[in-house]
Chain A
């Protein structure tokens, strides 16, 4: 029986926790209604329950900030200004972006909230929203805030590489929008990767400092790029030096012509007519031998092929020109690269 009772209690506890956020929201809504009807005495206990450590239901950060803000407002309405400031500060410490709506809060309440701002120092950066921007025409807008006047430094940097871009380094007070053009400090388009927005501030009213970080992922959405021409390989180039066999080959050709002339004269000519003229094959053989020997010596001494060297130089220059043109076209396309931004949780995936 005891076990059954314990099980029922456990189930009830789990069910209550599962519906906790809804319960917190309902209580806050109820408290808000009381506040609107100026029934602050009835709103206060509800709000105190929500911020109490013993509150059994889950409370989100925003709900907690809302509860503190309305607690401060209720106490301000009752004239308990010091307590009101304490709760306003609690709200500011949790969310420096907190700003009482003038339509719902009286000037007196807002004045107390301002006092809380002066007594509290906190900085924050709003989470970067998912977006796609063309860095040529539109910046990425970042929103940062300080609770009061401060010296602020805001930087964007890749989490795993140097190259921070300082967006602000100077005085700031309250909410501020900063634009980033997508370029790093070297003037190049920010490469894909994870980035950190670091907000570091030092109060000008209090001896306090604070910092905040938000992260986002950046991807490129470039148009398709053309590949540059591959490096010229041996098959693409003409031989710039002749093989050693070329000289011997030319000599052999000259000697073959001479041998052919003597073959015609000595073998093909009619022996019964006494052969052929002697001068003809001798002149041809001599000329051919000289031509072959000359070619042999020239090629042995200078095996370079100037025409091929020049042709290869032309091919290399043409390839370099083509690649330069491709790189120019690619650079123009890359300049049109869009940046795809999405929020991230931290420095790692």
Chain B
């Protein structure tokens, strides 16, 4: 909760004038694969996750977006269990340069299985490079970020957590289509002689409509 407030405060102080406003909305379809190994072997589950993002421009270069996502991941390895995934988060994006955006995000993610429920709190910063192709309609994307605050209920904090992504976006009229492959990796400290590792890889297809400001 405090992390979300921090992200919101960052957005508001980043551009206090709020003179130029606009809205954006996105729909997401993600092929999501979750992998974890808590010392008992690899557990893998995957499935489709649906999401939506609502964004608002607070200035020429500042956007705050709220996202929600949810879906079911089916177990695909022995020992793994099916789980549901739900997430809500707040993201602030600042256009530092025409080709570079800096982003702060806070999210609450929940994995639910028939036997347990695990909540994650994630706060991170990212840098996203956007390099336009010659005709400007297409842009290449690359993202790298750190998750300095990542905690999961019932587990110690990971030693190291980061996120990386690569993809493309294509403007088609007022709609921007985006295809992005992203990876979240969490390396936890060894506990009871066994290291724990988690990883979420996602292939996302996103359609985004902006109103009041083209981007």
Tell me the A residues contacting B by CB distance below 8 Å. 242, 246-247, 249-250, 253-254, 256-257, 260-261, 263-265, 268-270, 272-274, 276-277, 279-281, 283-284, 287-288, 291-292, 295, 298-299
Contact = CB atoms under 8 A, between A and B. Distances in A.
Contacts of B192: none
B185 A269 contact: yes
Contact of A284 (B37, B131, B135, B179): B179
A270 B202 contact: no
A-B CB proximity, top 6 nearest: A260-B166, A280-B203, A280-B181, A277-B33, A276-B201, A284-B181
B37 A273 contact: yes
B140 A261 contact: no
B42 A274 contact: yes
Contact of B167 (A249, A268, A274, A284): A284
B123 to A, nearest CB: 20
Nearest to B202: A280
Contacts of A273: 35-37, 42, 197, 199
Contact of B201 (A257, A260, A277, A292): A277
Contacts of A254: 133, 140, 168
B134 A250 contact: yes
Interface of B: 31, 33, 35-37, 42, 44, 46, 131, 133-135, 138, 140-142, 162, 164-168, 170, 179-183, 185, 187, 197, 199, 201-203
Contacts of B166: 257, 260-261, 263-264, 281, 284
Contact of B164 (A242, A250, A268, A270): A268
Given A260-B142, A277-B46, A287-B168, 15 more contacts: A254-B168, A257-B140, A257-B167, A257-B168, A261-B181, A268-B183, A270-B199, A273-B35, A273-B37, A273-B197, A280-B31, A284-B181, A291-B138, A295-B133, A299-B134
Contacts of A287: 168, 179
Contact of A274 (B35, B140, B179): B35
A278 to B, nearest CB: 9
A258 to B, nearest CB: 8
B203 A279 contact: yes
B134 A269 contact: no
Contacts of B185: 268-270
B200 to A, nearest CB: 9
Nearest to A299: B134
Nearest to A286: B179
B148 to A, nearest CB: 17
Nearest to B167: A284
Nearest to B186: A270
B197 A270 contact: yes
B207 to A, nearest CB: 15
A247 B135 CA distance: 10
A316 to B, nearest CB: 23
A277 B134 contact: no
A246 B168 contact: no
Contacts of A280: 31, 33, 181, 201-203
A276 B183 contact: yes
A264 B167 CA distance: 11
A295 B134 contact: yes
B183 A253 contact: no
Given A279-B31, A295-B138, A261 B167 contact: yes
A246 B134 contact: yes
B134 A283 contact: no
B133 A291 contact: yes
A264 B35 contact: no
Contacts of A276: 33, 35, 183, 199, 201
A253 B139 CA distance: 9
A86 to B, nearest CB: 100
B181 A283 contact: yes
A277 to B, nearest CB: 4
20 contacts: A247-B134, A253-B131, A254-B140, A256-B140, A257-B168, A260-B166, A261-B181, A264-B164, A268-B164, A273-B197, A276-B183, A277-B201, A279-B203, A280-B33, A280-B203, A287-B168, A288-B168, A295-B138, A298-B135, A299-B135
B168 A272 contact: no
A261 B183 CA distance: 10
B157 to A, nearest CB: 17
A265 B201 contact: yes
A109 to B, nearest CB: 99
Contacts of B203: 277, 279-280, 283-284
A88 B122 CA distance: 125
Contacts of A269: 183, 185, 199, 201
Nearest to A294: B138
Contacts of B37: 272-273
A46 B37 CA distance: 144
A295 B168 contact: no
